[in-house]
Structure 1
Amino acid sequence: MQPPHEKPAKPPRRAFPDSVPSRASSNGEIQRWPGNTFICPFGDESPLRKILQKIQDTIRCRERLAQKMHFMPEISWHMTIFEGVNEENRAPGFWPLGKEGQELEDCTKEFLERLDGVELREEGLAPPYQMQVEGIAMRPGSVWLKIEAESRVEERRLRRLRDVLAKSIGLRTPTHESYEWHVGFCYLIRHLDDEDEAELRRIVDELETTVKVKFELKSLHFCDFENLHVFRSLLVLG
């Protein structure tokens, strides 16, 4: 038994960040990680394209840092509205109740059937959605753009949209209320040491004021995917 003044020992750190080996290998190769999701892709004219390209290019110029990251390709860039399910996480609450063992393909077909007839426009929930970039977030296993709705009214509309989608497909996850809007653009495939973290922080500080733009999400898609590079649109909602 530990003396009362001592803090419990921290669990040992995993050999690799959380994205390895599920999303990407330790060598940076994309891995099979199938699931379904609701996303808003970026149009060709979106200001986010230049922003994400600039951030990725800046990190790539730091070879030591870049070797520890997997950069998401332009074809994959999007903002998630509602997570759906994935093969890796079948814990209670993250698949429809009682269907944690369901085949993914059957789940996706069932979701499509349940989405048939959902009219977001009548509910005032159809795209476009007005958003803004708040900054760049350094997460333990990834780097994000932090996204917020442009106004409180738009934030309430998006939260209501999540509620409607959750009810439509019969899935309300434990993280439903706390979900943060974001755009992921790279995953860590190696842990960063203090020098790496300091270098990444310098990049973030250098670029953060340049990323704070407003943008519009013009379409909402229900998609399936085999990995996190390619999202196949099965249904356009709205």
Structure 2
Amino acid sequence: MAYETNDAFAENFTEIGKDAPPRYLGIRFDATGTFMPTPGNTVVSHVVPGSRTEAALARVRQGLMDLPYGDRFAYTPVSSHHMTVFQGIIEGRRKPDYWPEGVALDAAVEQTTSLFLDRLSSFPRGDPFHMKVVSVTPLGLVLEGATERDEYTVRALRDDLVGPFGYRHPDHDSYTFHITMAYPKAWLPAGAEAAYLPALAALKDSLAQEIDMVELGAPAFCEFTDMTEFRPLKFLS
């Protein structure tokens, strides 16, 4: 998720070389930016409600909305901001490596949620970790452990969750931690990077003056019906 160069930004966000609409249009949200039903479950750490981080991230979100062509993105609510620790299952992604081993690919989402809750009932309490912001992108924030120890701790937690969930995503080891604030509804025009890259850098610098680390709650196994709310069912630390 490194978009700091013109070529990387253009490849990921502009219309250049694209012959299809953005990946989640018509799946997670519609052309108006209204989020659609996409039930699933996941392990996330929510941004602490009422914290300095929540307020700072709300300002970043508004900054993204105010950018040229900001209306080409669907924005998640501030109350939903979180960092995914381990990807659960989601409707529309029913295939091996993304679905618990031994569970039918047509099983109801609610069945997997009950299964995971049962398996997590004796999950050991994990060590705390802290995250910092690496960069601001049109989609939100890229994060990493505040120290090498923090990075090791959160990735060890991901490793430990492979057992209860019964799968290991292909990007398990290379996964980039992030906080999603927006999804593209339409590609940006060619050349948009000229305005976006300096603006994103300025948002990152402004954010760094407000917070040193991202205030996150304890990792929690959650259920969701769409991308606007992730309801905790069990805290893991």
TM-score computed with the length of structure 1 as normaliser? 0.84
CA–CA separation in structure 2 for the residues paired with 1:57 and 1:29? 17
- For structure 1, the residue ranges without an aligned partner over 5 or more in a row are 1-11
User: Counterpart of 2:57 in structure 1: which amino acid?
Assistant: L
Give the equivalent residue in structure 2 for 1:4: none
RMSD: 2.0
Question: 1:201: which partner in 2?
Answer: 197
**Matched residue, 1:40:** 45
5+ long unaligned stretches in structure 2: 1-16
Contact 1:46 1:215 in 2 (8 A): no
Structure 1 residue 97, shift from structure 2 partner: 2.0
- Number of aligned residue pairs: 218
Structure holding more strand per residue = 1
* 1:134 shift after superposition: 1.2
Equivalent position SS for 2:179 = strand
Which letter does structure 1 place at the counterpart of 2:132? Q
Does residue 164 (structure 1) correspond to residue 168 (structure 2)? The answer is: no
| Greater C-alpha Rg | 1
Counterpart residue type for residue 121 of structure 2: D
Residue 89 of structure 1 is matched in structure 2 by: 93
CA distance in structure 1 between the aligned counterparts of 2:72 and 2:123, rounded to whole angstroms = 43
Match of 1:179 among 175, 188, 201: 175
Range moving further from structure 2, 202-211 or 101-110: 202-211
Equivalent residues of 1:26, 1:189 under 8 A apart: yes
TM-score normalised by structure 2 residue count? 0.85
Match of 1:67 among 55, 71, 86: 71
Between structures 1 and 2, the one with greater helix share: 2
Structure 2: distance between partners of 1:135 and 1:119? 32
Q: How far off its partner does 1:211 sit? A: 2.4
**TM-superposed deviation, 1:86:** 0.6
Q: CA deviation at 1:198?
A: 2.9
Q: CA deviation at 1:14?
A: 4.1
- 1:155-207, Cα deviation, whole Å (9 max, x unpaired): 11111111111112322221211111111111111110025443322320222
Aligned partner of residue 211 in structure 1, secondary structure: helix
Distance 1:231 1:218, change over 3 A: closer
